[in-house]
């Protein structure tokens, strides 16, 4: 089976700034991968490229062997690092929207998670708190049976209790053939669920390794290694 | 997928148009009643109350303008906000083709424009129509028809058809022009609005130049035909056919080019912040 995500010589230039500088990366199926790097290292750029929201300056990025397009969007579930849903919509309308467009969306799973969190279906998004909005977004994204989940800073704006809930949601909702890429700089929070890590710095991949290897070879946690690699 | 996109686009825009249409219709009826009461009772407000008396008319005019303006403003905001800002993160990660996104917006904006136009006509009818006017319409129509025919203008179903087609094409063409300018915002990361306005002006200038060149060169090439058309009333209809279909054809060609450009940019040069 081909890799779920592959980058070859991927470059993204914004004006004079090079956000990604020749990234080569292969992500296999069935893994939870931490895409770790300081602010501005190119994490979001890489994820946006995988979703076709921006186009590469050079090189290529492939999802399941194909460039981002209609087919890749059927199998990729994406959580951006911003509020991207229509604020005027109710939670129920959003569920209908996802159900209409994504064949792999399971509205029962979504409604079950929403009711556990006490989020009403008739609530309008604009009336919800920032943290609750993020939870709604995550629930919608994780209620898909996708092959690749791209989660950009999924725990950035929520309290520690909500972080636990979100991480639990992630590991209990993806199947063994799917991969989850979590971009974050809050490493200690996600470390326990990661299989592999990719360190990215100034638009380049500086390390790819399994979490077990890091612990064995470096005798360190991922968080400690990150602090060492990215020491200011 | 296009059907689903259109459905959701109607939901998103209907929440603006339907209350606006409702308010406009109610205001039209209220104004009609107000004028009727004023005429029936024959009262005139004293000067110091005249301002208050004008309020229903002012409200009606404002709503009239709002109904027309909303068709353009909503089309701009929906395309920009829904596709180029944060909401674009959702729309461009849906498993749909780029042209389906554009088509859904275009179709829905055109439908609202047509409804707005019909509603404005209906509203004017509500305001002015009496049973006498209704009865007089066939009589007036006959007079207008005969008088126009004497001048060489035949108000036939065909003329109505070509005017409707040219109006539809120009409505669709105007939206495509707006969409093309908004799509051009992808070429700037930091000054998107400025880029959009600049692109719109540029597209306008280019299109007007093209239209002028085609018209002038067409005029030179068909000089004799045009002269014969304009000097003999028998040929007036031919002249109208030529100008209406000619300008419609130019709009179709330029709009097709802009439509293609819009889809190409959104597919190959998408640059969401």
- Cβ-based neighbours of A175, under 8 Å, separated by 6 or more: A145
Average pLDDT across chain B, whole number: 88
Q: A162 falls in which pLDDT band (50, 70, 90)?
A: confident
Sign for the CA dihedral angle at A95, A118, A32, A187 comes to positive
Please state the rounded mean pLDDT for residues A102-123: 89
Q: Per-residue pLDDT for B173 more than 90? A: yes
Taking alpha carbons only, the member of B212, B270, B269, B273 closest to residue B246 is: B212
Residues of A in Cβ contact (< 8 Å) with B88:
53, 84
Is B87's CB within 8 Å of A85's CB? yes
Residues A180 and A193 sit within 8 Å (Cβ to Cβ): no
Is B4's CB within 8 Å of A76's CB? no
Can you give the pLDDT at residue B43?
Answer: 66
pLDDT in tens, B135-151: 888 888 888 888 887 77
Q: Is A228 left (phi over 0), alpha (psi -120 to 50) or beta?
A: alpha
Is B92's CB within 8 Å of A52's CB? yes
Is B4's CB within 8 Å of A100's CB? yes
Please state the rounded mean pLDDT for residues A22-36: 90
Is A100's CB within 8 Å of B269's CB? no
The answer to whether residue A84 neighbours chain B at the CB level (below 8 Å) is yes
Q: Is A52 left (phi over 0), alpha (psi -120 to 50) or beta?
A: left
Q: B75 falls in which pLDDT band (50, 70, 90)?
A: very high
Other beta carbons within 10 Å of B168: 14
Q: A1 falls in which pLDDT band (50, 70, 90)?
A: low
Bigger pLDDT: B149 or B94? B94
Can you give the pLDDT at residue B23?
Answer: 95
Please state the rounded mean pLDDT for residues A20-39: 89
Can you give the pLDDT at residue B6?
Answer: 96
Q: Per-residue pLDDT for B11 more than 70? A: yes
pLDDT in tens, B180-233: 999 999 888 778 889 999 999 999 999 999 888 988 888 788 777 777 777 776
Q: B129 falls in which pLDDT band (50, 70, 90)?
A: confident
Q: Per-residue pLDDT for A132 more than 90? A: no
Can you give the pLDDT at residue A206?
Answer: 87
Q: What is the distance in angstroms between the CA of the first residue and the CA of the last residue of chain A?
A: 40
Please state the rounded mean pLDDT for residues A207-219: 83
How many Å apart are CA B221 and CA B243, to the nearest integer? 14
The DSSP element (H or E) to which B262 belongs, if any, is helix B236-268
Can you give the pLDDT at residue B25?
Answer: 94
Please state the rounded mean pLDDT for residues B82-93: 93
Proportion of chain A above pLDDT 90, given as a percent: 34
Bigger pLDDT: B40 or B181? B181
- DSSP code per residue over A18-69: EEEEEEEEEE-SS-EEEEE--TTSSHHHHHHHHTTSB--SEEEEEETTB-SS
Taking alpha carbons only, the member of B35, B29, B39, B33 closest to residue B63 is: B29
Can you give the pLDDT at residue B240?
Answer: 80
Q: B45 falls in which pLDDT band (50, 70, 90)?
A: low
Can you give the pLDDT at residue A39?
Answer: 84
> Which chain B residue has its CA at the smallest distance from A68's CA?
B93
> Which chain B residue has its CA at the smallest distance from A99's CA?
B4
Q: How many CB pairs under 8 A join A and B?
A: 64
In the numeric block, which tokens belong to residue B192?
A: 């998107």
ipTM score of complex: 0.89
Rg of chain B in Å (alpha carbons) = 24
Mutate to test the interface with A, among B93, B192, B271 (most CBs of A within 10 A): B93
Average pLDDT across chain A, whole number: 87
Q: A81 falls in which pLDDT band (50, 70, 90)?
A: confident
Is the model's pTM score more than 0.80? Answer: yes
Distances (CA, A) of B229 to A46, B148, B151: 64, 16, 13
| 3-class DSSP assignment, residue B191 | coil
The answer to whether residue B44 neighbours chain A at the CB level (below 8 Å) is no
Q: Is A65 left (phi over 0), alpha (psi -120 to 50) or beta?
A: left
The answer to whether residue A76 neighbours chain B at the CB level (below 8 Å) is yes
Residues A12 and A19 sit within 8 Å (Cβ to Cβ): yes
Can you give the pLDDT at residue A160?
Answer: 77
Is B96's CB within 8 Å of A83's CB? no
Q: Per-residue pLDDT for A70 more than 80? A: yes
């Amino acid at each position: 089976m081909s890799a779920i995500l592959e980058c070859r010589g991927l470059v993204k230039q914004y004006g004079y700034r090079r956000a990604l500088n020749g990234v080569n990366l292969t992500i296999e199926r069935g893994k939870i991968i931490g895409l770790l790097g300081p602010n501005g290292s190119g994490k979001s750029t890489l994820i946006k490229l995988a979703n076709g929201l921006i186009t590469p300056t050079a090189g290529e990025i492939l999802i399941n062997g194909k460039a981002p397009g209609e087919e890749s969007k059927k199998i990729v579930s994406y959580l951006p690092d911003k509020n991207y849903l229509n604020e005027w919509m109710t939670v129920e309308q959003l569920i209908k929207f996802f159900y209409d467009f994504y064949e792999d969306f399971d509205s029962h799973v979504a409604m079950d998670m929403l009711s556990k969190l006490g989020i009403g279906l008739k609530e309008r998004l604009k009336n919800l708190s920032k943290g609750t909005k993020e939870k709604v977004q995550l629930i919608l994204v994780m209620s898909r049976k996708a092959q690749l989940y791209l989660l950009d800073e999924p725990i950035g704006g929520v309290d520690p209790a909500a972080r636990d809930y979100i991480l639990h949601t992630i590991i209990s909702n993806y199947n063994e053939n799917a991969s989850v890429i979590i971009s974050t700089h809050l490493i200690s929070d996600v470390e326990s669920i990661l299989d592999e890590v990719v360190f990215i710095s100034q638009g380049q991949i500086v390390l790819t390794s399994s979490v077990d290897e890091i612990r064995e070879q470096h005798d360190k946690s991922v968080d400690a290694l990150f602090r060492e690699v990215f020491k200011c | 997928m296009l059907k689903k996109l259109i459905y959701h686009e109607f939901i998103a825009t209907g929440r603006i148009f339907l209350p606006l249409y409702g308010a406009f219709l109610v205001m039209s009826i209220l104004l009609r009643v107000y004028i009727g009461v004023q005429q029936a009772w024959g009262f005139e407000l004293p000067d110091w109350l005249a301002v208050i008396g004008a309020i229903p008319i002012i409200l009606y005019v404002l709503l009239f303008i709002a109904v027309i303006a909303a068709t353009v403003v909503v089309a701009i905001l929906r395309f920009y906000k829904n596709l180029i800002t944060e909401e674009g993160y959702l729309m461009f990660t849906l498993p749909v083709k780029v042209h389906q996104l554009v088509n859904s917006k275009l179709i829905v904006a055109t439908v609202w424009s047509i409804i707005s136009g019909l509603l404005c006509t209906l509203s004017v009818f509500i305001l002015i129509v009496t049973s006498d006017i209704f009865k007089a319409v066939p009589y007036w129509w006959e007079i207008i028809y005969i008088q126009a025919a004497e001048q060489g203008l035949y108000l036939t179903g065909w003329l109505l058809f070509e005017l409707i087609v040219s109006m539809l094409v120009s409505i669709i063409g105007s939206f495509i022009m707006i969409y093309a300018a908004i799509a051009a915002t992808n070429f700037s990361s930091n000054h998107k609005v400025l880029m959009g306005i600049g692109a719109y002006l540029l597209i306008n200038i280019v299109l007007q130049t093209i239209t002028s060149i085609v018209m002038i060169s067409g005029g030179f090439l068909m000089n004799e035909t045009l002269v014969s058309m304009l000097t003999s009333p028998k040929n007036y209809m031919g002249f109208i056919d030529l100008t209406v279909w000619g300008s419609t054809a130019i709009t179709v060609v330029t709009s097709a080019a802009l439509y293609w450009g819009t889809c190409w940019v959104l597919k190959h040069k998408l640059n969401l912040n």
